[in-house]
Amino acid sequence: MQFELIKNFVKDKGLPLYRIGQIREAVFVKGISSWQKATALPAALREDLEKNIKILSFTVEVLQASKKDPVFKALLKLEDGRKIETVLMKPGKTWSVCVSSQVGCPLGCAFCATGKMGFARNLTAEEISDQVLFWYQFLLEQKLGERISNVVFMGMGEPLLNYEEVAMAIKDLSNPDYLGIGQRHISVSTSGVADKFFNLAQDLPQVNLALSLHNADDSERSKLMPINKKFNLETIKEKLEEYLARTGREVFIEYTVIEGENNLPMHVRKLGKWINSIKDNYLLHVNLIACNPAVGKAVATEDSSVKKFASALQGMNINVSIRRSMGADISAACGQLASKNRRKK
């Protein structure tokens, strides 16, 4: 729900302006999931709100909880019947939400279930920020916590292909009148839509940028991630350098280690060489993730294999961390739940 809606509703109905604050508090502080729970408001106003304003722009179709990790995943049905998914997880002490930015994705990365669904449409800013509001309500209702600390754009879709709505959603989410999540706690993960890096640097310099690289060989990367034919490694490098010069912010390079496909000695060499050729590369940090085997022909990557890859990169003076993949039992990689539940046409 967009905050503007509340303001307009109160003004249009000729209500006293203090109602704006009361409604805001009910939705964004108390996290009510239905207007009837806004007990500070008179019953007639609750009825009126019920008829006129939806708190969320979707309904929940499936909600799954991981048995292994603090991870929840929801399949959401939008007003036009299309479906997206969103994930709530607790990788450390705080809760993070992974949001989708498009229904499907036009980029067709070989390893990605969303890519196999094709592209339907961009999400609106409201549909994006509502995913976070939904998990906030869930945390409060389940008494699991009172705060969402981080938001990552790593769900379905390529966020930089839906730049305007994503930027608006980030501004809404970080608005203290909304959920007030600091922009430094919001990360945009891109497959390499490099012509938008500078927009992000200009408009939202506090937001974290993460680049899903997965291979530093142009021809192999183009097979894995066809967007590489449009923005190849040389172009990404140029645009990253502009971004780093402008923001001075750390950029995360995401690299899913796929056994036998991108973890051979030549892949480490090429990745190290590419990173070391980038100006201000001390600001780059590689996150290695073991491949989640649920998709396609990829097989699970052993931890030892990821550690070997990491130490080879460290040997080339590159900052590197190993990230644990969470929620594999509920297919918490992007697009997997929506593609399983997609109706065949």
Kindly list the catalytic residues: 85, 334
Smallest distance from ligand SF4 to CB 143, Å: 33
Residue 271 interacting with ligand SF4 (CB under 6 A) = no
Contact of 236 with 221, CB cutoff 8 Å: no
When binding is defined by CB under 6 A, the residue of 105, 139, 152, 201 that contacts ligand SF4 is: 105
Strand, coil or helix: 164:
helix
Q: How would you label 182-195 residue by residue, b for 16+ Cβ within 10 Å and e otherwise?
A: ebebbbbbbbbbbe
Contact of 335 with 105, CB cutoff 8 Å: yes
**Binding-residue pattern over the window 147 to 186 for ligand SF4, x denoting contact by CB under 6 A:** ---------xxx----------------------------
Planar angle of CA 296, 302, 305, nearest 5 degrees: 110
Residue 211 interacting with ligand SF4 (CB under 6 A) = no
Contact of 100 with 158, CB cutoff 8 Å: no
Q: Sign of the C-alpha dihedral, residues 37, 42, 48, 52?
A: negative
Of 32 and 158, the one with the shorter C-beta distance to ligand SF4 is 158
Residue 191 interacting with ligand SF4 (CB under 6 A) = yes
Q: Which residues contact 62 (CB under 8 A, 6 or more apart)?
A: 74, 75, 337, 341
Stretches 5-13, 70-78, 102-110, 313-321: which one binds ligand SF4 (CB under 6 A)?
102-110
DSSP alpha helices (H): ranges in 68-112? none
Residue 228 interacting with ligand SF4 (CB under 6 A) = no
Q: Using CA atoms, how far apart are residues 228 and 235, in angstroms rounded to an integer? A: 9
Q: Using CA atoms, how far apart are residues 167 and 239, in angstroms rounded to an integer? A: 19
Q: Using CA atoms, how far apart are residues 83 and 76, in angstroms rounded to an integer? A: 5
Query: Contacts with ligand SF4: how many residues (CB under 6 A)?
Result: 12
Window 322-341: residues binding ligand SF4 (CB under 6 A): 334
In the block, tokens 């007030």 appear at: 180
Stretches 7-15, 41-49, 106-114, 265-273: which one binds ligand SF4 (CB under 6 A)?
106-114
When binding is defined by CB under 6 A, the residue of 91, 108, 205, 293 that contacts ligand SF4 is: 108
Residue 107 interacting with ligand SF4 (CB under 6 A) = yes
When binding is defined by CB under 6 A, the residue of 72, 86, 89, 115 that contacts ligand SF4 is: 115
Residue 194 interacting with ligand SF4 (CB under 6 A) = no
Smallest distance from ligand SF4 to CB 141, Å: 29
Which residues in this chain contact ligand SF4 in the complex, by CB under 6 A? 105, 107-109, 112, 114-115, 156-158, 191, 334
